[in-house]
Structure 1
Amino acid sequence: MEGGPSGGTLSEIYQSSRRLLLRTRDALERLERLEATTTAATGGGLDSPELSMSIKRDIIQVQSFCVEMDRLWRSISAKSQRDLWRRKVEQVAEEAESLKESLDKYFLRNQKRMMEAKERAELLGRANGDSAHVLRIFDDEAQAMQSARNSSRMLEESFATGVAILSKYSEQRERLKKAQRKALDVLNNVGLSNSVLKLIEKRHRVDKLIKYVGMISTVIILYAFWRWTR
């Protein structure tokens, strides 16, 4: 691993990180070419633990350089120089992150290949011992998967039906509420009309009583006046 000078200047650490990035990129390309070559030839990739771990260590070293450079560029007094070094350090950090992502993808592919190889070995071992048993296992798994798909489809259909029914119930409930409000309005209007009619009838009876009392009073007064003038 190529390390930067301990306590070096910003420029020295930057140059060390650039050289280390170049070496890491070349090593990663060799690792990917090796993977592609062995995959095409044998159907499975070939792992190179020493090379992959060396790449990982170099990436970690570059990232540690970035931490140190990030601290140093912030102490620069001139704004133009500070902005320039900030962009340079960010570029180094982005390249290191890109290389890390590529290496992580390689590790995932290698892990997947190892698992597939293990599964193939187990299946071949079972087939050599009892092929009928292996075929029965595949049939059972296929039937289980089909049953699970059918159950999932039935659940989805039941869910859709339930949603439709609830929607219809909601519409009917809204219509019933509107009808109930109209009925209450009608009842309120009828109740108001009955009250008004009763008030009118009562007033009419009072008017009739006043009229009769007035007529009787007039007759009595006229009679009394007639008797008095005789």
Structure 2
Amino acid sequence: MEKEGKGTLSEIYQSSKKLLMKTRDGLEKLERFEFSTFDCFDSPELFAIKKDISQIQTLSADMDRLWRSIGSKPQRDLWKRKVEQINEEVESIKEGLDKLLLRNQKRIMEAKDRAELLKRANGDSAHVVRIFDEEAQAMTSAQNSSRMLEEAYSTGVEILSKYSEQRDRLKRAQRKALDILNTVGLSNSVLRLIERRHRVDKSISYIGMIVTIIVVYMFWRWTH
């Protein structure tokens, strides 16, 4: 068996297997206590695992040089596969450790964020209450304005409706009066006078409706 200063290929292989078992046990221990503490970056187990991984990688590099110098091809292929298995196992442990540290770092950041939010919430509670009060007041004001606008609109519609009813009644009364006057044979001058009065009343009705519309529009603009 080929030798190196650290021992034979078989001896180095056995040392690497023992270190793999030790490192895997250390990683499982960290994982078991993962949720009992927020910070494992300063734990002695973490430094021991990192040190063992580095040592296994060094032994693997030594074995890789040794198996290449073996004369027998079957033995060389066998040791090649064994060294590859060591490399695969140590990479798996290293990947598991990286994931553990990433989860731990994420929990630390989340805990800091929660503490900061709680601190801000406690310090700014009066500000938050004031914001809610202002929003409630703004909503109440908007509701009042909307209600006033609806009432003004309803009033305007009612006024216009009354003007329309009065105009219809006036037309009917005027038609009856004209019929009566025609019956009794009044002069054309009297009829023209009545017609002019009818046009004046109609103008007054139109002016009243226009003024009402303007008042409703100005009130709507004022409330908005």
TM tier, smaller: 0.5 to 0.7
Contact kept? 2:38, 2:108, Cα under 8 Å: no
Which residue of 2 is the match for residue 226 of structure 1?
none
Structure 1 position 114 matched with structure 2 position 111: no
Q: Deviations over 1:169-192 (max 9, x none)?
A: xxxxxxxxxxxxxxxxxxxxxxxx
Contact kept? 1:66, 1:89, Cα under 8 Å: yes
Q: CA deviation at 1:49?
A: 2.0
Contact kept? 1:126, 1:134, Cα under 8 Å: no
Which residue of 2 is the match for residue 32 of structure 1?
31
Q: Deviations over 1:29-80 (max 9, x none)?
A: 11111114x2xxxxx6452621112111111111111111001100101101
The number of residues matched between the two structures is 127
How many angstroms apart in 2 are the aligned matches of 1:135 and 1:31? Answer: 45
Q: CA deviation at 1:135?
A: 9.1
Structure 1 position 13 matched with structure 2 position 7: no
Percent of aligned positions that are identical:
63
CA 1:98–1:133: 2 relative to 1, 3 Å: farther
CA 1:45–1:80: 2 relative to 1, 3 Å: same
CA 1:94–1:115: 2 relative to 1, 3 Å: same
2:52 to 58, 61, 67: 58
Structure 1 position 129 matched with structure 2 position 139: no
Of structures 1 and 2, the one scoring higher in RCO (CA 8 A, sep 6+) is: 2
In structure 2, runs of 5+ residues without a counterpart are 131-224
Q: Deviations over 1:156-177 (max 9, x none)?
A: xxxxxxxxxxxxxxxxxxxxxx
Q: CA deviation at 1:132?
A: 5.6
Which residue of 1 is the match for residue 68 of structure 2?
74
CA 1:132–1:81: 2 relative to 1, 3 Å: farther
Contact kept? 2:39, 2:108, Cα under 8 Å: no
How large is the RMSD of aligned CA atoms in angstroms? 2.3
How many angstroms apart in 2 are the aligned matches of 1:49 and 1:135? Answer: 44
CA 1:127–1:71: 2 relative to 1, 3 Å: same
CA 1:59–1:135: 2 relative to 1, 3 Å: farther
CA 1:12–1:54: 2 relative to 1, 3 Å: same
2:79 to 79, 85, 98: 85
CA 1:127–1:28: 2 relative to 1, 3 Å: same
Counterpart secondary structure, 2:34: helix
Which residue of 1 is the match for residue 180 of structure 2?
none
The 5-angstrom pairing of residues 36-47 of structure 1 reads 36=35, 38=36, 45-47=38-40
TM-score, normalised relative to structure 2? 0.52
Q: CA deviation at 1:131?
A: 2.7
In structure 1, runs of 5+ residues without a counterpart are 39-43, 137-230
